[in-house]
Structure 1
Amino acid sequence: MTFAHDTEMSLQAAVTLVNTEDPADDTLATVADLQRFYDEFSYTGRHDADRAELDTIRTLRTRLRELLTAERDDAVDLVNTMLREGRALPQLVRHEPFDWHLHAVDNEAPLATRILVETAMAMIDVIRADEMSRLGHCADEDCNGVVLDLSRNRSRRFCSTPCGNRNAVAAYRARQATAG
């Protein structure tokens, strides 16, 4: 299943945002971290770039995790709630560097509202295509990260390269121990 570019980008942004919440290493701790996130995912529009905005975005992570890991029918309720709260009114827009895509709230809405609504809009495509299996929990036992699998063969199991590498090394060592 290939999703539209804006759907994939919104899903990747949401997963990245959720995965910044690691008790051992929170990677969304400063306004500079938020700026990198904003730039990485090509957000446009209002960006206050202050501590209040950062704190609001940080609180979104719990709701986004709940949505991204929900069962399909539960995700529908969460999406509808988010769209209502954000007063979503989908419209086609075009701005650099992207061609026509959907925005559902005004560019001057707070960044937290735009992230929540854009994620909900992306999840509409996931739910309608019955592709909830594209989202899941990291296979690393010590990680609570979320995985977005956009691979053709649905083979992604880990939220990040470090998690994948740690498990590959552990598996290699286990094989060596039983072989030797």
Structure 2
Amino acid sequence: MLFAHDTEASLQAAVALANSSDEPGEPLGSEADLSAFLAGWSYSGRIDADAIELEAVRRLRPALKELLLAERDTAVEIVNGMLARAKALPQLQRHDALDWHLHAIDPDRPLDERVVVETAMAMVDVIRADEMSRLDRCAADDCDDVVLDLSRNRSRRYCSTTCGNREAVAAYRARQKA
């Protein structure tokens, strides 16, 4: 494992949110989709599961994408700003089936604020480990999504198997034409 479990989970959740759409079945497709997404990533604390919360989380996508794709120095500025605005106070917590991990915001604060702080805290680990290269844009020509590469050999280039397969088929067809 490259990072602590909570860091990896926060990064994966942030990438999924940044890459999501409002389509049904997507993490931000509906209130029910958001609730299922949050349960799958073990988000704790206050969850209102209403239209206001869904819209607030949807509005996070550009900021999450900007942070996840930023150069290291820019990411530092963004993270520091996010943590300062939230008045984050990192503390060790243990709940549910999870061992000690960091929380930096009161669990009763709105979900969108908690997502921002958890993502910022995860990025602190990425920045300190000088592992910004683990985050990049999808290598597919027609995709602008974020890729999180947690593989040992740093080989992940596509945001999903769909993009990877589409590029492989296109390359195969191009070779066949030649």
TM-score grouping bracket, smaller chain normalisation: over 0.9
Q: Distance in 2 between matches of 1:87 and 1:37?
A: 26
Q: Does 1:40 align with 2:40?
A: yes
Residue 175 (structure 1) shift: 2.0
Secondary structure of 1:43's partner?
Answer: coil
1:161 maps to 161
The number of residues matched between the two structures is 177
1:95 maps to 95
Residue 81 (structure 1) shift: 0.5
Q: Distance in 1 between matches of 2:151 and 2:112?
A: 28
- TM-score scaled by length of structure 1: 0.94
Residue 36 (structure 1) shift: 1.7
Secondary structure of 1:147's partner?
Answer: strand
Amino acid of the residue matched to residue 96 of structure 1?
Answer: D
Q: Distance in 1 between matches of 2:121 and 2:159?
A: 22
Residue 26 (structure 1) shift: 8.8
Alpha-carbon spacing, 1:73–1:25, altered in 2? closer, same or farther (3 Å): farther
CA contact (8 A) 2:21 2:29 kept: no
Amino acid of the residue matched to residue 100 of structure 2?
Answer: W
Q: Distance in 2 between matches of 1:72 and 1:146?
A: 16
Residue 29 (structure 1) shift: 2.4
Q: Distance in 2 between matches of 1:38 and 1:121?
A: 18
1:52 maps to 52
CA contact (8 A) 1:83 1:117 kept: yes
CA contact (8 A) 1:147 1:159 kept: yes
CA contact (8 A) 1:20 1:26 kept: no
CA contact (8 A) 1:147 1:158 kept: yes
The share of aligned pairs that are identical, in percent, is: 64
CA contact (8 A) 1:46 1:109 kept: yes
The runs of at least 4 consecutive aligned structure 1 residues that moved more than 6 Å come to: none
RMSD of aligned alpha carbons: 1.6
Q: Does 1:127 align with 2:127?
A: yes
CA contact (8 A) 1:93 1:100 kept: yes
- TM-score scaled by length of structure 2: 0.95
Alpha-carbon spacing, 1:86–1:26, altered in 2? closer, same or farther (3 Å): farther
Deviations, residues 31-76 of structure 1 (Å, cap 9, x unaligned):
0111121111110110000000000000001100000000100000
